[in-house]
Amino acid sequence: MEEHEAQGADLQTENPVSSVRQSVRFLLHLAVVYGSVNICCPWLAGTIYSIVMPALGVARTGSSFQFLFSHLFAFSFITALVSGFVNAKYRHTVALFVWTIPALILAYKFATFPASVLESRFTAALHHYVSGTFSVPEFHDYHELFAYVAPNLDARRGLDQFRFTAPVYAGIGYSLGAWISKQGLLTKLFSFEKAEE
């Protein structure tokens, strides 16, 4: 009886340390998700738009921001998926749940989206936060930014998608990458062992 009480006391003292450690890990993984959206995603889009497309002779239509906003899912998901693969070294289980915070924030934005009496709040929010058709002009100085881009509703919608929707895409990609690495699927897929004869 005394042994069980002693073990129970040991477990109670270990849980707060473990939960604090898990919370710190969760926040670090969440920071990686937001970092991949805010840093890697624009860098990748800019590199493809400015270097890869001209090198391949692909015609560029629209501005660099229009290109980023129109391909936001691909850029945010892929960069976070690759970041999630790095989790193979750490195998933190909390990395599987980093999509929850961005999803809760997006759900709040959906619920509080201002809509007119004649339109559905959900339909208006869905168009604002998920629709992918943009028309954003290129700008080269602050005068053009405030004259052409600031009043543009597509630019505002694209920025909202960048701030609130892209982290959801990235969180799902990061969690998927962490799950794949936790299961060891990358090593199974890319191991080149000779078959035994």
Mean pLDDT (whole number) for 132-147:
71
Q: Which has the higher per-residue pLDDT, 53 or 10?
A: 53
* Residue 189 in domain: no
* Residue 151 in domain: yes
User: For residue 92, what pLDDT is reported?
Assistant: 82
Predicted confidence (pLDDT) at residue 139 exceeds the cutoff of 50: yes
Q: Which of 5-9, 124-128, 185-189 has the lowest mean pLDDT?
A: 5-9
* Residue 191 in domain: no
* Residue 188 in domain: no
* Residue 130 in domain: yes
User: What mean pLDDT value characterizes the chain?
Assistant: 82
Q: pLDDT tens digit string along 34-89?
A: 999 999 999 999 999 999 999 999 888 878 888 888 899 999 999 999 988 887 67
Binned at pLDDT 50, 70 and 90, residue 145 comes out as low
User: For residue 181, what pLDDT is reported?
Assistant: 84
Mean pLDDT (whole number) for 175-182:
88
Query: Based on the structure, what is the number of domains in the chain?
Result: 1
Predicted confidence (pLDDT) at residue 3 exceeds the cutoff of 60: no
Q: Which has the higher per-residue pLDDT, 127 or 7?
A: 127
Binned at pLDDT 50, 70 and 90, residue 97 comes out as very high
CA 82 to chain centroid, in Å, comes to 11
Binned at pLDDT 50, 70 and 90, residue 17 comes out as low
Domain that holds residue 87: 2-183
- Phi, psi at 147, each rounded to 5°: -80, -40
User: For residue 36, what pLDDT is reported?
Assistant: 92
* Residue 194 in domain: no
* Residue 195 in domain: no
The pTM of the full predicted model, rounded to 2 decimals, is 0.79
* Residue 193 in domain: no
Number of residues that make up the chain: 197
Reading the block at residue 158, the tokens are 């694209």
